[in-house]
Structure 1
Amino acid sequence: MARRIGVVGIVVEDRNKAAQINNILSDFGDLVIGRMGVPYRDKELSVISLIVEGTTDQIGSLTGRLGNIKGVQVKSALSNKTIS
């Protein structure tokens, strides 16, 4: 199956979900090329950005599991170019 490179943006409104988020990210660690997390304490939320490489099914599974967590919003953008 064709692999793609993309970005995943995660907005966390409930810091108590951090362990659950990190467990999921660990489960999909082979897809993650890079990760940056920024706490925005003044607004009581955090933003995590991921650079990922995987099939659309793999990336969709990652974003789906994250998006099922209450207080977490997820968006992704994938390149049109496939990686061999």
Structure 2
Amino acid sequence: METRVALIGILIDDSDAVEKVNQILHLSSRWIVGRMGIPYHARNVNIISVVVDAPQDEISRMSGLIGKLSGVTAKIAYAKLPSHEA
């Protein structure tokens, strides 16, 4: 199965959505290389950067589920690396 390295950037404006985002990330934990969360209190937003090495379908699924949550935005940036067999 071919995998790609990507960064999923997540912005959470609604604190009620934090637990739901973490649940989705937990379900996809096998693909996560690392993550960093920053609570930006001055602007009342939580910022999460998630690095994944996963099949493109899985990356899209994860980002899509997160992005559908109310008060949450998710975007993907793919590394310009060749695909890798997992």
Band the TM-score falls in, shorter-chain normalisation: over 0.9
Q: Which runs of 4+ in 1 moved over 2 A?
A: none
Q: Which runs of 5+ in 1 are unaligned?
A: none
Q: What is the identity percentage for the equivalent residue pairs of Structure 1 and Structure 2?
A: 30
CA shift digits 1:2-59 (9 cap, x unpaired): 1111111000001111111110000000111000000000100010001101010000
Task: Determine the C-alpha separation between the residues in 2 that align with 1:32 and 1:14.
Answer: 23
Which position in structure 1 is the counterpart of 2:66? 66
Could you say what secondary structure the match of 2:65 adopts?
helix
Which position in structure 2 is the counterpart of 1:48? 48
Could you say what secondary structure the match of 1:30 adopts?
helix
Give the partner amino acid of 1:6: A
Q: Which runs of 5+ in 2 are unaligned?
A: none
Give me the TM-score of the superposition, normalised by structure 1.
Answer: 0.95
Give me the TM-score of the superposition, normalised by structure 2.
Answer: 0.93
Task: Determine the C-alpha separation between the residues in 2 that align with 1:12 and 1:18.
Answer: 7
Give the partner amino acid of 2:17: K
- The count of residues paired between Structure 1 and Structure 2 equals 84
Task: Determine the C-alpha separation between the residues in 2 that align with 1:38 and 1:52.
Answer: 18
Which position in structure 1 is the counterpart of 2:23? 23
Task: Determine the C-alpha separation between the residues in 1 that align with 2:16 and 2:66.
Answer: 14
Which position in structure 2 is the counterpart of 1:35? 35
- When the two chains are superposed, the root-mean-square deviation of aligned CA atoms in Å is 0.9
Within the alignment, does 1:82 sit opposite 2:75 as a pair?
no
